[in-house]
Amino acid sequence: MMAPRQQGSTLSPLQREPAPVPGCSECLRLANRRQNARSESDHSAVTDANVYLRRHLKAQHGEG
The site string for Zn ion over 25-44 (x = CB under 5 A, - otherwise) reads: -xx-----------------
Nearer to Zn ion, 21 or 45 (CB): 21
Q: How far is Cα 23 from Cα 14, in angstroms, rounded to an integer? A: 25
Number of residues forming the site for Zn ion (CB under 5 A)? 4
* CA neighbor of 54 nearest in space, from 26, 17, 23, 10: 17
- In the bound state with Zn ion, the residue whose beta carbon lies nearer, of 27 and 37, is 27
Examine residue 48 and tell whether it contacts Zn ion (CB under 5 A).
Answer: no
Query: By C-alpha distance, which of 26, 51, 25, 24 is closest to 37?
Result: 51
